[in-house]
Every structure is written in structure tokens, then in C-alpha cells.
């Protein structure tokens, strides 16, 4: 189109402008309807883990593939908790944006050179509370990551101290899917509770329909606070006494150093999370996400196994009152409790204790499945002395234990036959 053509074209009339404005207003109304959603109480383990860590005032790092919904989850979390959300894209900032810009005053030799904080930090201090979201952390350069150390741990930005009401959550993509990504430095990674964010099909479908899970802070029971702290200290300290090599273990690979690993700092975080989880009576699954996110998968799983052993009933208490013995409902814990009873009899074999152990097994048969009794019953039978008469409890158990053994042998025979058939087919 030539310049003369443009100059000769008629100008837009007021009616055209009005129609365009009306259409844009309708488009805005449609966008408003699309963005209007509600929330509902709905079990969501990863969301519960996130809110508990936020309540515990521990920095959280969400790992997930691009587009998985990390930013949306943080936006919804801030809205649910009525916290103003401040989003800072770490990768587009300079180190001075977090460590502060030097401002030379009238007499720097006397007054010093203060480090001026950025505008977002000033606004957080003015608000007194908020959710600081550090996004794209894995694409931040090592120099920016170093500047973030004080922000994450000490809550300082330049010369400014962030108020206690500010919580910190970060998000990162794995290096393979990040845009020009870096591995997190070990000092920065060890300051976070790492949660791997994955999508749940039902949550996504229902959310796109307009209803998302509601983020709610854990309901802490005031009466349980002293008990929760005592339990957490006893659990972590007791575990590290028997596993002292896990107090500090820096991973050997760069990738693992950028995740969760055990150190005195991360064990303190695990202790805090354990106390909060106990006071709020969270599920084992939520507690597992948090503990493993603080100290790593291996040490976290070992601590959880230690917690299970702490919850086992005292075998001497079970032997003292076998008829009313309270056994764990979970199969693995129940079997461990029965094996502990048999081991206690083996450590101090007496006829009365041997008979009480059989009564405990009868109690287990009455309140659970028989397949867990085979191993402890076999071991207990081997502890019998020649002058000990067989108690009536053995007769009650014999048929059930024998049936369980026959069922196990049937499964073994069927498995062996299937393997033989497979080998014949390959020939």
C-alpha cells in the first residue's frame, strides 16, 4: 500500500471505534468467566505437604516439568491463605538485585555504604506478610544463586530484613527440560525442602471444569504441641545416634548435590516438619514427602522406618496381658511386633512367657490374617523345652497355620510350573 493510498483512506468513524470497544468489552467478560473458578476441600498429598512446609516457615522448592502447574498452584495457595503474592523470576535478575545496590551517601567513611534493596522487597516489608515466589530457579546463573543464599536462609535482601510473615517458595525445572538450565549449587539446594510436583489426572480435569483443591493450613492441636516437639526430638536424635554417618553426607554427583541431602541444617528442617506433622496428625504419605524432601530419599526412608519401630508396642507389655494385646493394624508392623514377642521369649525362655506368647499369637489370629503367624509360630515352637506341655493355644493355631503353609506351597508350585512352561516355550 502506497503512502498516497494511506492518506486517502477514510478515517475510522466514531461508530467503528465504539463497536470495537464493545467487542473488546465482551471479550473481557468471556475471559472473566473463564478465569472464575472455585475451590473445594479435596485430599491432595502434595498440596498438603506444601502448605505444612509453608506453615513451618521452611523454604520449599517445587520441582516439575514445564507446564505442570507449579505457578498456578502457588497462585492458588496465596489466594487461599490470603497472602499477597510476589513473583520474582530469578533467571532474569542480576546478583545485585538480591544482594542490594550500593548507595554512596554524604560521608561513606563514617556512615558506610548501604545496600539498597529492590522495589519488590520494599513492598513486602511494607505489607508485613506475603508469599515470595522465586520462579525459574534452575535457570539462574551460579552468581545469582550465590546472591540468593542470604535471601533464602536469613531472609535478607540487601540491608533489608524481610518480616517473619513472609514465606518463601521457589520453583524449578529439571536441568534436562530447563531453558539453558544449571544444576543448583549444594549450599542453595540444602536450604530448601524439595517437593517433586506432578499432575493428578482427576485434579486437572476437575480444575479445568472450574473446581480446584483448596489449600488449607494444617490444623495444629494446641494440646499436642509439647508432645509433638518431644516426639520429633526423640525420633531424629535417636535415629542419628544409631546412624551417625548420615548426619552429614554430601552426594558424590553434581545432580544429587542439587537436590535434598542430609546435613545438620536439613535434619533440623526434618525435625521441624516431623513436629508440625505430628501436631497436625498428617498422613504418613504427606510426612514421607516432607522428610524425604528435606534429607533425601535414602535417609528419609530410614527415618520413617525408625518411626515405625518407635510405634511398636513393648513386647513385655504384650506378654503381660496377651488376651487384651493391642497389635498394629498394618501388616508389616504387626509381624514385626509378633517377631519382637518371640525374640523376647527367646532372650529369657520361661514356660509362662512361652505360653503367653502363644496367647499373643491367638490374639493376632482373632484380630488379623493368619499368614503373618507362620514365621513367628514356627520360631516359637522351636523354643519349647522337653518338660513344657503344649498349651491349648497351639491346637487353635495349628489348623490355621497349617492352612497358610499349604497355601504358600501351592503358590510356590504354581510359580515353578509357570516358569517351567515358559522355559519350554523358549526352547
d(Cα 90, Cα 67) in Å, to the nearest integer? Answer: 18
Cell, residue 251: 552426594
Tell whether the model's pLDDT for residue 411 goes beyond 50.
no
d(Cα 157, Cα 167) in Å, to the nearest integer? Answer: 14
| Residues contacting 354, CB < 8 A, separation 6+ | 345, 380, 383, 384, 388
Confidence at 390, pLDDT banded by 50, 70, 90: confident
Tell which residue, 265, 272, 270, 293, has the closest CA to residue 154. 265
| Residues contacting 397, CB < 8 A, separation 6+ | 358, 361, 362, 365, 373, 377
Q: Are residues 337 and 325 in contact, defined by beta-carbon separation less than 8 angstroms?
A: no
Residue 107: per-residue pLDDT: 59
Which residue is listed with cell 504384650? Answer: 318
Q: Are residues 327 and 368 in contact, defined by beta-carbon separation less than 8 angstroms?
A: yes
* CA 396 vs CA 359, 365, 379, 381, 388: distances in Å: 10, 9, 17, 14, 18
Pick the more confident residue, 285 or 381: 285
Q: Per DSSP, what are the bridge partners of residue 132?
A: 86, 168
What is the tens place of the pLDDT at every residue in 229-272? 999 999 999 999 989 999 999 998 888 999 999 999 999 999 99
Q: Which helix (H) or strand (E) holds 88?
A: strand 85-89
Tell whether the model's pLDDT for residue 144 goes beyond 70.
yes
Confidence at 403, pLDDT banded by 50, 70, 90: very low
The domain over range 38-102+115-200+209-213 is classified in CATH as 3.40.50.300: yes
d(Cα 29, Cα 32) in Å, to the nearest integer? Answer: 5
d(Cα 1, Cα 110) in Å, to the nearest integer? Answer: 67
What's the N-to-C CA distance of the chain in angstroms? 79
Tell whether the model's pLDDT for residue 10 goes beyond 70.
no
Question: Domain coordinates of the chain in residue numbers?
Answer: 38-102+115-200+209-213, 222-310, 315-426
**Sign, CA torsion 7/9/14/16:** negative
What is the tens place of the pLDDT at every residue in 287-337? 999 999 999 999 999 999 889 888 788 889 899 988 888 888 888 788 888
Tell which residue, 391, 394, 352, has the closest CA to residue 377. 394
Amino acid at each position: 500500500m502506497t503512502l498516497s493510498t494511506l492518506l486517502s483512506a477514510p478515517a475510522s468513524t466514531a461508530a467503528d471505534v465504539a463497536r470495537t470497544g464493545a467487542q473488546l468489552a465482551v471479550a473481557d467478560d468471556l475471559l472473566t468467566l473463564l478465569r472464575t473458578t472455585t475451590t473445594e476441600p479435596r485430599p491432595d498429598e502434595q498440596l498438603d505437604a506444601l502448605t505444612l512446609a509453608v506453615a513451618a516457615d521452611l523454604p520449599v522448592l517445587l520441582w516439575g516439568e514445564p507446564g505442570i502447574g507449579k505457578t498456578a498452584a502457588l497462585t492458588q495457595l496465596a489466594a487461599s491463605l490470603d497472602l499477597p503474592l510476589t513473583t520474582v523470576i530469578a533467571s532474569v535478575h542480576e546478583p545485585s538485585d538480591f544482594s542490594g545496590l550500593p548507595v554512596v551517601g554524604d560521608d561513606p567513611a563514617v556512615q558506610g555504604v548501604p545496600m539498597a534493596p529492590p522495589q519488590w522487597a520494599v513492598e513486602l516489608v511494607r505489607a508485613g506478610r506475603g508469599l515470595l515466589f522465586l520462579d525459574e530457579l534452575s535457570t539462574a546463573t551460579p552468581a545469582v544463586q550465590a546472591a540468593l543464599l542470604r535471601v533464602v536462609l536469613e531472609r535478607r535482601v540487601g540491608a533489608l530484613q524481610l518480616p517473619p510473615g513472609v514465606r518463601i517458595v521457589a520453583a524449578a525445572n529439571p536441568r534436562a527440560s530447563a531453558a539453558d538450565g544449571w544444576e543448583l549449587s549444594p549450599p542453595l539446594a540444602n536450604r530448601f525442602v524439595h517437593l517433586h510436583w506432578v499432575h493428578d489426572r482427576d485434579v486437572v480435569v476437575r480444575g479445568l471444569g472450574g473446581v480446584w483443591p483448596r489449600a488449607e493450613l494444617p490444623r495444629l492441636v494446641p494440646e499436642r504441641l509439647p508432645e509433638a516437639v518431644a516426639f520429633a526430638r526423640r525420633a531424629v536424635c535417636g535415629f542419628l545416634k544409631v546412624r551417625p554417618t548420615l548426619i552429614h553426607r554430601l552426594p558424590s554427583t553434581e545432580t544429587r548435590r542439587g537436590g535434598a541431602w542430609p546435613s545438620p541444617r536439613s535434619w533440623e528442617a526434618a525435625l521441624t516438619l516431623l513436629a508440625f506433622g505430628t501436631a497436625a496428625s498428617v498422613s504418613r504419605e504427606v510426612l514421607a514427602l516432607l522428610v524425604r524432601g528435606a534429607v533425601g530419599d535414602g535417609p528419609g526412608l530410614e527415618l520413617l522406618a525408625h518411626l515405625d519401630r518407635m510405634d511398636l508396642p513393648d513386647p513385655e507389655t504384650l506378654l503381660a496381658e496377651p488376651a487384651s494385646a493391642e497389635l498394629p493394624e498394618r501388616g508389616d508392623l504387626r509381624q514385626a511386633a509378633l517377631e519382637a514377642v518371640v525374640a523376647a521369649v527367646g532372650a529369657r525362655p520361661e514356660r509362662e512367657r512361652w505360653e503367653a506368647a502363644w496367647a499373643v499369637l491367638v490374639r493376632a489370629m482373632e484380630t488379623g490374617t493368619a499368614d503373618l503367624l507362620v514365621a513367628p509360630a514356627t520360631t516359637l515352637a522351636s523354643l519349647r523345652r522337653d518338660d513344657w506341655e503344649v498349651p491349648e493355644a497351639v491346637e487353635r493355631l495349628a489348623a490355621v497355620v497349617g492352612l497358610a503353609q499349604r497355601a504358600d506351597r501351592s503358590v510356590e508350585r504354581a510359580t515353578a510350573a509357570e516358569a517351567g512352561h515358559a522355559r519350554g516355550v523358549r526352547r
